[in-house]
Structure 1
């Protein structure tokens, strides 16, 4: 019989330099290594055809014209399906469908195409002149900031999830019933949307969840569920839809851009004592109300344009998570300036924590440098209220053999707390950069993590390491530039994502804890960019305040 008070599952953390076999190995790893694991694009049904699609450069675009005769010489075409806002072709192979679309040259009418330069200009204006909503205040808040001893501005470009497998779905519509094979992080909402699209009852839709192939929150959206339902109904046969990479970038909603202005009032040190203690801080952020906008799409079934209209001007506390520092600062005020940028935005790994923590941790490093304080001890002096985060900082410094972040050392430090109280997850990371042929490279990431009670040590470590690599891509990749609503470059290579050769040595150590388990999935993605930025400053003397760090060159 089971015990009356069973112990909750837990694993003890292993030292960072121990590469022991996992106690509970993942049963899906062999198939993912040898390529036999079945993702959404691997579904095959009898008599199935393959479809590709073209979308307009903005959600409000409308299909204007296309030349069906131009694809007459392409074999195997099974049908052409047009909608108000897209055009799809199905054929015996996906390549034939894609070639037919290219030959047809669909054209779209767009009222207000989005340009990256216009987005930046809009955010730039709002940051200084826009109406601000107070999201959080501690101590005396804004009243305590009598002067600004140091002020800095940080900018974060839109970040795209760019999953390895683009939006893919397979459907079969027969006898009034829709069978749907799709990777969906919100499967019930995808099921409801597909049913509404073709006018059938929700109970007549069966959704078979497929592995997402790395979605990073892109598959919370379900546009492709609607499209495949309409295509399958019109063709009357099984069909698989795969978005080209170009359309993945056009239709996937990126993480919102953030323009941030941080100011601090510093204490004057007494003779013989270090100064620079932060007496008051103000954080002013111009960004769209991304989480409200996302909620309108997911739960209210709004189009992207309607969601932007319905949330225009609304303050969004979830869009500013992480803007309130984890440090003990007497007075802090966080303000949100809701921005209408004309570009639908959504969730991407790290969400709002990524931009806000990049700004906070970069700013803390700049204050330490201005006050001639050592970055680690400066942070430790402000963490009396969070001993668990302080323990992460100390352990990360030990793992990295922290040398104080001296000039030209190439070491940079950052830490983060996601959540509040005992349920929060914590991480500290030291990035080490070295100058060599071809410029500066990140050669090591040393991280100490406290996620409370560890359920599965191996999976938790994979989450941290994967997040760190994702953070490298955010920090050192390429920004997607939009012109006329379309990406200037749409291939995978244009994103500048890290390859295996770009991945540095990673040392990850978990801190033993009896606290409730916390999610490790976002930690590495949010802490890596500021740690890398601080390391590049140490290595080169250049302070980079824009993500991606090399988006404007050095």
Structure 2
């Protein structure tokens, strides 16, 4: 690179006084010393380089334990040529410039952060590197193309003289931006290494601040009690005895809830437990899970359904197939069970609204606060806190709206904290779904046709309800995990070569709120499709690994993953007596995963001894974090498959805490081995990739052990329990 730059004395002094370099991340690339949230840029984040040489990535997304901040920092530092020991991450500011590329909102979801921000971060880091090179070369009195950048220094290769980023950052900030920065070529120096995550030390020493840790001078605390039946409204509340209690500031009535505000959370919580509010009757007060499931099962026979995938003539081919396999499957509502319950701190005045919140959807926070307060969005100031778990639940804005209404009422900073009971009983749950899958096979054991019908509520209904977001009658979220999301797939159904396929959806509304849950539609569709493949293998008297391998012959990537799994799990070796195993494969969030689960069963007590997972996520930015995220999603998938379910009786959720919403314990967690296939392809998602294969692999293993098929989750409803 050779660039000539002219600086007059005034420009140089101004650059030196600034003491640092701050670059916006985006395509097109723009540079500024301050964030201008009114800019219509689609992409945005910032690189800040201080006079001390420290490089800060001002993250475009929140960190909720998935490791995105560290992954993005690694990408940026690699392209920039920074010293990794001097790299840090700052919480995201709010603005249009920070919205996810291609999404139009500033959020963290769908295992997309590293995937979506990889290219814009690299381009912006490359631009910063070129500007630093020019500034450093000018200071050294040499040509820019005679210099290289590494470990936080601009280095003149011939003389080996060097100058640190911090010494020229301010001057570099004043240079014209490169219109077409050149990306680094050759192997990465940071990306691909198993580096410790940047957020771990503060979480270990307690200095990390989550939403629930917020403390503001003069802050009050609020506890809430919401209508037990979804959609019922608050009619009346007897508050006399509560108002006279020590420390109670106010009792506030919301449309469907009552709130007690006090000078401590404990006083607010104990006071609200004494209140017996009266809520309105609703038509849903008699609804139960049994009613919802029965209605969904009826729709399996409906002559009307909306097609989502149509390839060839699946109906005709299925009817002509030599062998046909059909099964109905169902999954329950699921809670997110985040360790940090819903919480939001708000300070509302006539001129502004300030929020401290753990949220996956920062654009939604701003829009909600503006709507509730009537203030323009530029008067809404949001502090994006760390999330104590999200899994899709903290995309929703219910707690933000409630906290803002409370803040308006008390005119003082107030922190709303949901109790665990409120959190369990007022979620936006993973939808309960029913699916029917049919496959036809020819004489060679190849799939000649596949049909699938999905029945359930729409996750997008409440998120984008103006207009109602069905695409030609189909909720696209319900289809996630059906069609392939990875490059090079041979067909439309996962990685399987299927010439005739038809997938249909029937919208079945329910009064139970539904929302995004880790891996969204793939969590049920992986169970439906892979369970049917396993049943087909038994019907064909074929090894389930070999059947999948044959059906994926047109996808070398998938075959590589399967073969690696067979090798690492010892699939072709005999198991010790009393041990059994199952296998499953899924393609979601741009990554391929396959798992073998090894179990033993004594009566109906299931012991999971070992899980082997192979993942191809294209390029593993941080292998250590890939392993951690895969392990975490497998644990969540195991828990959901065995014991988790939200049940409704008389219109309300029966579960209330961890004693009756059972999650997997540390003692029950098996040995989990993760193997990464680095195919060098586009970066795939990781946080959700491995979850969908867990349930079908586990149920496959149980069938191998007992001869019984599990077609309805969780297994506990059929009497199974952890050993």
TM-score w.r.t. length of structure 1: 0.90
Aligned to 2:184: 6
Alignment partner for residue 136 of structure 1, among 309, 312, 317? 309
* Residue 507 of structure 2, aligned match among 338, 343, 347: 338
Q: 1:355 aligns with which of 501, 524, 548?
A: 524
- Partner Cα separation in structure 2 for residue 229 and residue 399 of structure 1: 53
Per-residue Cα deviation, 1:477-508 (whole angstroms, up to 9, x for no partner): 23111112322121122221111112110110
- Tell me the alpha carbon deviations over residues 370-390 of structure 1, each in whole angstroms, 9 at most, x when there is no partner: 111001111100111211111
Query: How far apart, in 2, do the equivalents of 1:500 and 1:10 lie?
Result: 37
Match of 1:25 among 191, 196, 200: 196
Where in structure 2 are the equivalents of 1:199-348 lying within 5 Å? 199-268=374-443, 276-296=445-465, 300=466, 314-323=473-482, 324-348=493-517
Q: Match for residue 93 of structure 1?
A: 264
Tell me how large the CA RMSD over aligned residues is: 2.4
Out of 70-79 and 460-469, give the one that drifted further.
70-79
Q: Bigger relative contact order, structure 1 or 2, given CA contacts below 8 A and separation 6+?
A: 1
Does residue 234 of structure 2 align to residue 63 of structure 1?
A: yes
Cα separation, partners in 2 of 1:144 and 1:52, compared to 1, 3 Å: same
- 8 Å Cα contact 1:253/1:344 also seen in 2: yes
Q: Aligned partners of 1:396 and 1:189: how far apart in 2?
A: 41
Is 1:184 aligned to residue 355 of structure 2? no
Task: State the alpha-carbon separation in 2 of the partners of residues 405 and 195 from structure 1.
Answer: 63
- Residue pair 1:409, 1:538 contacting (<8 A) in 2 also: no
Q: Is the CA contact 2:232–2:280 (under 8 Å) kept in the aligned structure 1?
A: yes
2:425–2:656 Cα contact (<8 Å) kept: no
Partner of 2:87: none
Q: Which residue of 1 aligns with 2:694?
A: 528
Instruction: Name the SS for the 2:672 alignment partner.
Output: strand
The secondary structure found in structure 2 opposite 1:360 is helix
C-alpha change, 1:12 and 1:280, in structure 2 (3 Å) is farther
1:512 aligns with 2:681: no
Greater gyration radius: 2
**Aligned partner of residue 494 in structure 1, secondary structure:** coil
Aligned equivalent of 1:538: 704
Which residue number corresponds to residue 456 of structure 1? 622
In 2, Cα distance between the equivalents of 1:439 and 1:203? 57
Unaligned runs of 5+ in 2: 1-132, 134-147, 150-181, 483-492
Change (3 A) 1:8 1:54: farther
Question: How has the CA–CA distance of structure 1 residues 67 and 293 changed in structure 2, closer, same or farther, with 3 Å as cutoff?
Answer: closer
Distance in structure 2 (CA, Å) of the matches to 1:160 and 1:282: 29
Which residue in 2 is equivalent to 1:372? 541
Q: Hey, what's the Cα distance between the residues in 2 that align with 1:461 and 1:93?
A: 41
Shift of 1:411: 0.6
1:38 corresponds in structure 2 to 209
Structure 1 pair 12–439 and aligned structure 2 pair: CA distance change class (3 A)? farther
1:68 CA displacement: 0.5
What is the CA-CA distance between 1:439 and the residue it aligns to? 1.1
- Equivalence for 1:402: 571
2:329 aligned counterpart, secondary structure: strand
Count of residues paired in the alignment: 527
Equivalent positions of 1:44-55 (< 5 A) are: 44-55=215-226
**How far apart in 1 are the matches of 2:448 and 2:574?**
24
Query: Using the alignment, how far apart are the partners of 2:430 and 2:608 within structure 1?
Result: 24
For 1:313 and 1:391, locate their aligned partners in 2 and report how far apart those are by CA, in whole Å. Answer: 36
Q: Do 1:145 and 1:281's aligned partners in 2 also have CA atoms closer than 8 Å? A: yes
Runs of 5+ in structure 1 lacking a partner?
Answer: 15-21, 270-275
- Structure 2: how far apart are the matches of 1:500 and 1:128? 43
Give the direction of change, closer, same or farther, for the CA distance of 1:52–1:544 in structure 2 (3 Å limit): same
Residue equivalent to 2:137: none
| CA offset digits 1:49-102 (Å, max 9, x no partner) | 111111113442110121112325632111111112211111122122122112
Tell me the SS of whatever aligns to 2:293: helix
Worse-matched range after superposition: 427-436 or 396-405: 396-405
Contact 1:12 1:512 in 2 (8 A): no
Instruction: Out of 535-544 and 231-240, give the one that drifted further.
Output: 535-544
Kindly provide the CA deviation profile for residues 96-134 of structure 1, in whole angstroms up to 9, marking residues without a partner as x: 212211211112113122421111111011122262111
